[in-house]
Structure 1
Amino acid sequence: MKKLLFPLLCSLMILTSACAPLSTDGATNIWTETNAVKVLRSVTSGKNKKVTVSAAKGEYEGAQILINSSEKIENIEIALNDLTCGTHKIAKTNVAVYRQHYFDLQTAYDSSQKKDRYPDALVPFDASAKAGENRADANETFAIWLTFKIPETAESGAYTAEFQLILDGKRHSVPVELTVYDFALPKENHVRTAFALWIDDLCDIWGNANPDVHKVANNAEVKTLLQNYTNMLAEYRISTTALPLLWNELEDPKAVAKAAKEATLNPKIASYSVPVKEIEAEDGISEYKFKETLLELIRQSTNDIDLLKKAYLYIPKIDEPLSQNTIPLAIRVNKIVEKVRAELLADASLWTGKQQVKESLSAMQHVLTADYDPRLEGAAQTWCPYFSSFDTEEQRNVYYERRNAYGEGIWWYGCVGPKYPYPTFHMNNNIASARTIGWMQKVYDIEGQLYWTVNLSKQMREDDQYHIRDIWNDAYSFYDIAGDGYLVYAGAKYGIDNALPSIRLEAVRDGFEDYEYLWLLEETLSSLNEKYKTAYSLAEYVQHLSDKLFDGTKPTVIDENVTLAKNELSDLILAAKYGILILNENNSLCIYAPENIVSLKINGNSASRDQANKNRFHADAVENNTLEFINSEEKTFIIRYSL
């Protein structure tokens, strides 16, 4: 009998493969963790003895190796090997290795946060070793982060390898097991983001005293850094708010159009904000400059290369108008935006052969960071409130109803607030806090996400002024909030002209990859609903998994259940690929399957087809279920489904 192995069977295959146990001795403890756990410095041991990773083609996935010794270790090295599955290979060059940099967090804004040393910055291991940081004091946990990049061309299956830790010359073998799913993530990002990149925090433009940012000699070097950071963030499925242009270039329509074309042609860039010249006059923005920029974008567009397809507006001058008491200004600015839009749409000379471009201008969102409030009528086309503003069905319905009635868009954001128990990017929250945002965003049908800046290198203090901050030793960027306003670290200390990632940035990407998993499932679900005359929405179909991760917009999971939910989601994608729907109906399973499925066993028990519907099976279920399908070609499909 042929077997088409879903992830569960791949895992069983791995578990029975021959590989040496992780080498330890009396003085040294070595263990592993998934990418779903932050290992605090006070943790000195763990139970996992091998690296286990599961991912789709085209996906990034992380894992950790931890070392703790009762003796000082002067030299820590790691040697990678290629991963193999039969004759197939994933080269070791697809694995990035980082040292986890820890921060002492002794201030917490609520009792949920433990005072400890937290890992966050990820420093390339070779660069860290060159700086003499590949050592550990006695009884001090040393943490390694691995990021696996699965090639789009990889064959699906169970891969294994042996990595080697060399501690003061002594070798320790680390078994590695990688399952590659039989589907690929899309290259294109389907969630819009406006994650700001601050030029003045990117580099030391004025030659001041901050030793932790990049030193630049001219605008060309600044531009290179901007492009490097933008490209790096795109690999994390993040589109920066502004195009990678210098301040003077943002006022040059031709420079804007050139950069917009590059963004339009890059599938990794989902969105960009059309630059708007802010002025001190009563209107707040320059109508002339805004119109001039849009005109150039229209002129340089075709239906095939539509420079407005990914465009939106976010104007910092009217940020948070409710709390900043700028409601009248926000309304005036939006009137200018809509006036310019209407004038351009009415100019028939612009649109010959450009109907798609015209539709993009008509749909271009003006994002305002505010809850809907009657006082803001006429101030926005797209609302962007806090994550917490979508916590209840009643709250969400406010925005859904306005979208249905008026065509208004829905984005959301987090910054200093909201705080725990809502999701945050704060350093002393668990990884699930940042990761579940992507899953929530797809399930709640929220179109975009904004973050005020990814690279804040300064510190806001009690005098309400920014001060220079030691980014490698002081995590508190905004009063008592650790990690707010930055997800990356300047690589200047290590001679790297780019951003260095953080564990939180890895979690953000994992969340956006979860979004793409859900997007893939939704695409297939539509055709299966038509095939089986069902009408399940994506949110309904994955509710049994969402319920394990969050309640409203409050993450309820703090451990590896995030990974388990993602793995089960991959099963649903693979099942849908072969025409199978699996549903929880009052704690029993209802399964729709094509006629070529000749056998179905649930937890080892045979299930029968519904006499009234030859495509449907019904069966009792338990909390965690294993379903085994056999088709007419004698291929076996094994998947997991939890209630």
Structure 2
Amino acid sequence: MKKTVIGLLTLAFLLSAGACDETAGTTPGKAEIWSAADTVKVLQDKSYEDKEEAAISVTAVRNEYEGAQILMTAETDVKSYTVATASLTSSTGKTYAAENVEVFNQKYITVALTTTNSFPSGRYPDALLPFETAEEYGENNIEAGNNQGVYFSFYIPKEQEAGIYTGNFTLTVDGVKNSIPVTLKVVDYTLDDEVHSRSSFGVHRYWNEGGIVSAEKDASYDMYAAYYEYLLEHRISTRYMPAALSDTEGFIEQLRKYAVDPKCSNYIIPYVQAYDSSFAGTGIDYEFYKETLNAI
């Protein structure tokens, strides 16, 4: 009877210990948790010796976005992992709301041939998938031996008080909770809405008309607009507004909407091609171009 009681007590102790939070580091038998600068592309299928502490440290001004990433290296297959953010507080009692942090799951693509010897071939992080979408489609798992990154995007509201905010996020790996220390330094400066450094990001002019985006799952102009607005929110302008090249009315509609946005720093007036013997058979339809200019 005594042996049975001791056995039950031991089992209860082990179960209770397994339910406790783990400090950031190694989740026994599952995944090592670490970090790297958000500008570092950590390949899914490569080993790394230079690993930083599993913590998030961000410095940003008001009205800007800043990123950070946490990495997991699976020692065995990880069936699922989840992330929970939390509000941060300053020494003066001010709060940085959790709703200002977006969480993304890093998706990987295989790069078999690189254009420079400076970068190896392998599985590169490419798309950032909203974490709730990754959960919905069951993509929050890791094969043994692989790395998996989680990306955090911090937005600093214009009214946020300057100072240092601290707190903890929670990364749960197969039921084991890991506390991730977070430090956010808000600099006493507010970035203006108006963009003074012009950009012209190369979204293809033949969107929805074949070309390099012909394999896009959703090549609608609504999807183009989603890309456009995301880039604009991050102070980047694309070359073309989200309208078909031959759709003058659509272009004017988009021009009225976006040209007044202080974050829009550049756009190209659309043109269509026409036969022109002086340009090896391909040139610009100048009549259409004049019509577009007159419409503007």
- 5+ residue gaps, structure 1, are 1-19, 216-221, 298-643
Whole-angstrom CA distance in 2 between matches of 1:141 and 1:256: 43
1:274 to 244, 258, 269: 269
Q: In the TM superposition, what is the alpha-carbon distance from 1:116 to its structure 2 partner?
A: 2.9
Q: In the TM superposition, what is the alpha-carbon distance from 1:196 to its structure 2 partner?
A: 3.4
Query: Which residue does the alignment assign to 2:238?
Result: 240
Distance 1:133 1:168, change over 3 A: same
1:151 to 143, 146, 157: 157
Comparing both structures, which one devotes a greater share of its residues to helix? 1
Partner deviation per Cα, 1:263-290 (whole Å, 9 max, x = no partner): 2211111111122343213473344333
Query: Which residue does the alignment assign to 1:128?
Result: 134
Whole-angstrom CA distance in 1 between matches of 2:59 and 2:171: 22
Whole-angstrom CA distance in 2 between matches of 1:203 and 1:43: 41
**Native 8 Å contact 1:82 1:161 kept in 2:** yes
**Native 8 Å contact 2:96 2:160 kept in 1:** yes
Query: Which residue does the alignment assign to 2:88?
Result: 83
Q: In the TM superposition, what is the alpha-carbon distance from 1:224 to its structure 2 partner?
A: 2.1
Comparing both structures, which one devotes a greater share of its residues to strand? 2
**Native 8 Å contact 1:21 1:175 kept in 2:** no
Identity of matched residues, %: 30
Q: In the TM superposition, what is the alpha-carbon distance from 1:200 to its structure 2 partner?
A: 5.2
Q: In the TM superposition, what is the alpha-carbon distance from 1:23 to its structure 2 partner?
A: 4.9
2:218 to 196, 214, 232: 214
TM-score (norm 1): 0.39
1:68 to 68, 73, 79: 73
Whole-angstrom CA distance in 2 between matches of 1:43 and 1:152: 40
- 1:564-579 alignment to 2 at 5 Å? none
Distance 1:249 1:159, change over 3 A: same
- 1:173-212 alignment to 2 at 5 Å? 173-198=179-204, 201=207, 210=215
Whole-angstrom CA distance in 1 between matches of 2:105 and 2:226: 21
Query: Which residue does the alignment assign to 2:24?
Result: 22
SS at match of 2:26: coil
Distance 1:133 1:60, change over 3 A: same
Query: Which residue does the alignment assign to 2:19?
Result: none
Q: In the TM superposition, what is the alpha-carbon distance from 1:183 to its structure 2 partner?
A: 0.4
Q: Which amino acid letter does the alignment assign opposite residue 167 of structure 1?
A: V
- 5+ residue gaps, structure 2, are 1-21
Q: In the TM superposition, what is the alpha-carbon distance from 1:36 to its structure 2 partner?
A: 2.3
Distance 1:202 1:130, change over 3 A: farther
1:31 to 23, 31, 34: 34
Query: Which residue does the alignment assign to 2:284?
Result: 285
**Native 8 Å contact 2:88 2:97 kept in 1:** yes
Partner deviation per Cα, 1:125-171 (whole Å, 9 max, x = no partner): 11112111111122222211111111122111101121001111111
Q: Does structure 1 residue 142 correspond to structure 2 residue 140?
A: no
Partner deviation per Cα, 1:338-371 (whole Å, 9 max, x = no partner): xxxxxxxxxxxxxxxxxxxxxxxxxxxxxxxxxx
**Native 8 Å contact 1:99 1:122 kept in 2:** yes
TM-score (norm 2): 0.80
SS at match of 2:170: strand
Whole-angstrom CA distance in 2 between matches of 1:31 and 1:61: 19
Partner deviation per Cα, 1:418-477 (whole Å, 9 max, x = no partner): xxxxxxxxxxxxxxxxxxxxxxxxxxxxxxxxxxxxxxxxxxxxxxxxxxxxxxxxxxxx
Q: Which moved more, 1:23-32 or 1:119-128?
A: 23-32
Query: Which residue does the alignment assign to 2:60?
Result: 55
Whole-angstrom CA distance in 2 between matches of 1:256 and 1:69: 49
Query: Which residue does the alignment assign to 1:101?
Result: 107
Query: Which residue does the alignment assign to 1:568?
Result: none
Distance 1:183 1:166, change over 3 A: same
Q: Which amino acid letter does the alignment assign opposite residue 57 of structure 1?
A: R
